[in-house]
Structure 1
Amino acid sequence: MKEIVLLCLLALCRAKPYEPINIMSFLKHHDIMLQDDAAEDDDDDDGNFLFPSMSAPPHDESCPFGCQCSLRVIQCSDLGLKSVPKNIPKDALMIDLQNNKITEIKENDFKDLKNLYALFLVNNKISKIHPKAFRHMNKLQLLYLSYNLLTQIPANLPQNILELRVHDNKISKVQKDAFRGMRALHVLEMSANPLANSGIELGAFDGMSTFYLRIAEAKITAIPKDLPPTLTELHLDYNKIGKVELEDLYRYKNLLRLGLGFNQIKFVENGSFASIPNIREIHLDNNKLRSVPAGLDTLKYLQVVYLHVNSIGSVGPDDFCPAERSVKKSPYVGISLFANPLKYWEVQPATFRCVVGRRGVQLGNFRRRK
C-alpha cells in the first residue's frame, strides 16, 4: 500500500507552472488509496469506503454560502474569499479553497475538523498561519500551500501528513525542528522559494522521514548536508551549485534518483558517487562539466545519466561501463551527451558496451550556445 501511495504522490508533486487542481480528477486518482484506508479502519461508521455512496444526498443546509458540498468534499474555490468560510461541516474530508484571496489562517478556521484528509489552499495570499491552526487534525495527509506569501514553514504541522507542498512562496528560512516528528511525510516540495544554504538551520530536518525532496529554483549553492538520510529522490535543479564534493552525498545512501540539472557545476570530485551505490538516475545536464564525472562505472544499478548541454570534449572507453561485465547489475537505458563539444566519431564503440540498444545513447552534433 505504501508503494501505491508514494507513486501517486510523486506523480503529482512535480513543480510546474501553476494549474488549478481539478478536485474530481484528484478524487478519482486517489480512489484506490482512499478506499484501502477505509477498508482497514474497522471503526469507520460509513462502512468500507472513506467516502459515502454516490447516491448520498448533499447537505446543502450546512454548506458554506457559495460553496458546493458533496460526499464530504467542500469546494469553495474561485470565489474571491478573503478568509476561510464559517460553518464548514465537521465531517468534511476534503476542503478546496484554492484561487481565492485569503490572507491569513486563524486559530479557529478549521476547528473540530478532526476527520479532514486533504486541504488545498493553493494560490491565495496567505502570509500568516496561526501556530494552532492545524491542531487536532490527526488524519490530515495532504496539505497544499503552494503559490502563497509564506516566509517560513508553518509551525506545529500535523505529524501524519504524507505530502506537503509549499512551492512558490517567500520562504527564505527553514527553522530548526521545522519538521520534527513528521515520520510519515513521503513528499516535500519546496521549490521556487528564495532559500539559500544559509537559510537552512542546523537540525531543520531532524526527526523526519522523507523519500522525495525537491528544492529547485532556489538559491542553493551547494548540496545541503543536513537533509533526511531516508531520501530516495533529491532534486536540486535550477540552483547555483558549482561543484559536487566528496562528502556532499555521504549522508544519502538510499538515493535512487539525483537531480542536479541546470546548475553551474564544473567539477565532481572523484569518489563522490561512492556513497550512493544504489542510484538509478543522475541528472547533470545543463551544467559546465568538461569531462564525464569519475565513478559512474562503479555504480552497479545506474541506468540513466543526463550529461547533455555541458562542455564535455571527450569520452573514455571506461567512463560509463566497468571492465568486467559481471559487475554491472542493471544495463543503461539512457545516456545523453548531445550539445557537448564532443567529436562523436572518435568515441570508441566499446564505450557503450553496457547500454541496452542503440537508442540508449544520444550523442548528436555540438551546436554553440547563443
Structure 2
Amino acid sequence: MHVTKRQFIKTISVGSAAALLPAWVFASGKPTADPVKRIILDSDTATDDALAVLMAVTSPRLKVEAITITCGNVGFDQQTKNALYTLELAGKSGQIPVYQGSARPLVRQVHGNATYVHGSDGMSDAHFPDPKQKPDKEHAVDAIVRLVNANPGELTIVAIGPMTNVALALLKDPTIAKKIKELYFMGGFYKFYGNINPGATYNAWVDPEAARVVFQSGIPITTVGFDVSVKSSVFTDEDYVKVEKLGTKYSDFFMKINRIRRKYCKEHQKMNGSNHPDAITIAAVIDPSIVSEKVSRFVDVETRGELTLGALAIDELGVWGKQPNATICVEADEAKFKKMVFDTLKMS
C-alpha cells in the first residue's frame, strides 16, 4: 500500500499534521549590539531541558518563536506540561506558543523513557502544579514548516531532544532545508564515549533515522555533545551550595528539578555533580564565544548497528571523501557557562 507523506506524519504523530527582528543597532554608523537570534526550541522537556528553556526565554539575545515538543525523556504530555510550567515560572505564560509534535520515533517503537534520570514527572518528582497555558492546537511539524517558510534564512532551530519533529518537517517540505539559518543539536561527542551505548548518546539513539535525515539535509549544523557537557557543565556540590544561597525563585526551581538527576550523575555516570548538556547547548547559541574549540567534519548516523545504534559517525580522516556537513564543538569555557547560569538564576 502506498502511504503518502501526509499519512505517514499523521500516523506516527499525536494530533493532526494537516495541512515569525531586531536587526543591528547602529550608532555613528557602527554596530553596537549583536542581533537578537530568533529560535525554535525543540525539546523533550525534563530537568536539563527546563533549565535550557528558562535560559532561552529570559535571555535578551534570543527571541523564542516557538517551543516544539518531541518524543524523549518522559511521558509526552508530561514533557509538554514541563515546558509550559517553565514558561509560567519565567513570566512568559501565553507569550510563547508550545506545539506538540511526534510522540514516537519515525520508524521505531517508543523507546520507553528516562525517568531513572529525571524522575517520574521529568522534574525530579517536584510535581509542579498544572500550568495555565495550554499547548497550541497546531501540530509542531506544521508549525516548523510554516514558521521557516514565513521567515526564510532567519530562524535557528535548537534541537535539545531527539530530532523527530525536525526530520518530519523536512520530509513534509524538503525546501525548508535551505531556509533554516542553522541548527544546533545536543548530541554525539568528539573522541569521547556514549551515555546510552559505548558509541551513542541519548538524543540520536532514540531516533537515529530522524537524526540521519537531518544530518543529510544540508542544514548548517552545530553539535554540542555529551563530552562538552561532562567537561564544562558539571555543577558540583560547591556550585549547588552557591545556587541554594541565591534564594531566588529560579534557584529554588533549579534545586528542585535536579534532585534526582544530581544523584544519578554522581552514582551512575561517575561525575562529581550533575552535567547540563541542554543548558550548555543553549548557552552556545546565546554566546558562541562559550565554544572555545570546534572542528568541521562530515557526520553520518548509524541506524543499523547492533552495538552502536545512534552513533554519530565522524569522518575524522576524510575517508569518505565528503565535504564537512557539521561543526562539532570540542571544548567550551566552563567559567563563562556557569556565569551565564548563575546570572539567569539571580534574575527572579
Higher helix share: 2
Q: Do the two structures share a fold, i.e. TM-score over 0.5?
A: no
TM-score (ref. length: structure 2): 0.26
Q: Which has the higher contact order (CA 8 A, sep 6+)?
A: 2
